[in-house]
Copies of this chain bind each other. A is one copy, B any other.
Amino acid sequence: MPMTAYPRRVRIVEVGPRDGLQNEPEIVPIETKLTLIEQLADAGLPAIEVGAFVRPDRVPQMADTEEVIGRLRPRNDVTYIALVPNRRGLERAVASGIRTIAVFTAASEAFAQANIGMGIDASLTAFREVAAAARADGLGVRGYISTAWWCPYAGRTDPKMVRRVAHELLALGCDDVDVADTVGAATPAEVSGTLEMLLQDVPTGRLAVHFHDTRGTALANVLASMALGITTIDASAGGLGGCPFAPGALGNGAVRGADVVTTGNLATEDLLFMLHGMGIETGVDLEAVSAASGRLASALGRPLPSRYLRAGPLRLRGGTPRSS
């Protein structure tokens, strides 16, 4: 049987400082954010999502995005990214000096309505103007597609809809398209199926994947994606974000409590551990990312869900093996 061919090198887009911290119940101090971002950049992450130019009254956690960007040490080797929902957001992004923005829509009409307050087509129309203006200013543009496999309102997403939205995002000026398993319900065969359809239109190098580890399948989904040549993968330091604390989410009579940690975003550490174990280069220092996440966990006062962060590297036991 032939060996599956995986990429030799993968580019990780770190989303922890935005997608991860956005849902924290307490406002995270800007110093904590800046330390996290600088440590992640020092660890070698080539792209980091650092904020969102959304309405501060709706997303207070992102209200300091201008100041975060203004205080980051300039680096030629790191792409900083901020979310931009509309023209007003773009004006703020341009003024902040950031060089890459991300626009976001969904492949499920119901989710688009619920999450961004407009339909998919309306969002694409709005982004056309935003993307054109961004490109005129020389900015890079990422396009996010939420609910690319499953929607919490509509169930299974039609891959043809993902294909149509991806096509439109590229047509309106996005450099690449990032497809997300927003609710963490996709499995590898579904991932392969949708990606194979997308790859009929989208060059491999312009397609990124964003998996949630809610039900444990994120790394298996990464494997299925890499088998199709995908080389850009989102991840979040420590597994930050998604739905870190979900009291009552256990169901089935299991123990409930505030100490119950469920996971959303794929943890950067878990991804790095798998990739490096497979001999796939990332240019990122796993232990440096773990140190950044560990420091953040201390600042937040709770453990983060990354499995690697909890287990650590395999440390060999020294001395004479214990005989039992």
Kindly state whether residue A197 has any CB partner on chain B within 8 Å.
no
**Chain A 193-247 residues near chain B, CB threshold 8 A:** 196, 213-217, 219-220, 222-224, 227-229, 246
**Chain A 268-307 residues near chain B, CB threshold 8 A:** 270, 273-274, 276-279, 287, 290-291, 293-295, 297-298, 301-304, 306-307
- Distance to closest chain B CB from A185 (angstroms): 4
Q: Which of B150, B153, B220, B250 contacts A303 (CB 8 A)?
A: B250
Nearest-neighbor residue (CB-CB) of A302 within chain B = B255
- Distance to closest chain B CB from A42 (angstroms): 14
A294, B224: Cβ atoms closer than 8 Å: no
Kindly state whether residue A6 has any CB partner on chain B within 8 Å.
yes
List chain B residues, Cβ under 8 A from A254.
Answer: 293-294, 297-298, 303-304, 309-310
Kindly state whether residue A311 has any CB partner on chain B within 8 Å.
yes
List chain B residues, Cβ under 8 A from A213.
Answer: 216, 307
Kindly state whether residue A76 has any CB partner on chain B within 8 Å.
no
- Distance to closest chain B CB from A191 (angstroms): 10
Q: Which of B217, B262, B291, B297 contacts A255 (CB 8 A)?
A: B297
Interface centre among A273, A279, A310 (most CB of B within 10 A): A310
Complex Cα–Cα for A246 and B315 (A): 14
Interface centre among A154, A257, A278, A298 (most CB of B within 10 A): A278
B215, A308: Cβ atoms closer than 8 Å: yes
- Distance to closest chain B CB from A239 (angstroms): 9
Q: Which of B1, B117, B224, B321 contacts A111 (CB 8 A)?
A: B321
B116, A324: Cβ atoms closer than 8 Å: yes
Kindly state whether residue A3 has any CB partner on chain B within 8 Å.
yes
Copies of this chain, how many? 2
List chain B residues, Cβ under 8 A from A219.
Answer: 216-217, 219-220
B278, A185: Cβ atoms closer than 8 Å: no
Complex Cα–Cα for A153 and B243 (A): 37
A contact patch SS: loop
Kindly state whether residue A152 has any CB partner on chain B within 8 Å.
yes
Complex Cα–Cα for A262 and B211 (A): 21
List chain B residues, Cβ under 8 A from A306.
Answer: 216
Taken residue by residue from 1 to 35, chain A's Cβ proximity to chain B (1 for < 8 Å, 0 otherwise) reads as 10110100000000000000000000000000000
**Chain A 55-94 residues near chain B, CB threshold 8 A:** 58
- Distance to closest chain B CB from A111 (angstroms): 7
29 A–B contact pairs at CB < 8 A? A1-B229, A4-B224, A114-B321, A114-B324, A117-B323, A153-B317, A187-B276, A187-B278, A189-B279, A216-B273, A216-B307, A216-B308, A217-B270, A217-B273, A217-B274, A220-B223, A249-B311, A250-B297, A250-B303, A250-B312, A252-B295, A253-B298, A254-B303, A254-B304, A255-B302, A257-B303, A262-B307, A262-B311, A263-B307
Q: A252-B290, A253-B295, A262-B307 are in contact. List 7 more A-B contacts (CB 8 A).
A: A1-B196, A58-B324, A188-B223, A252-B287, A252-B293, A253-B298, A254-B304
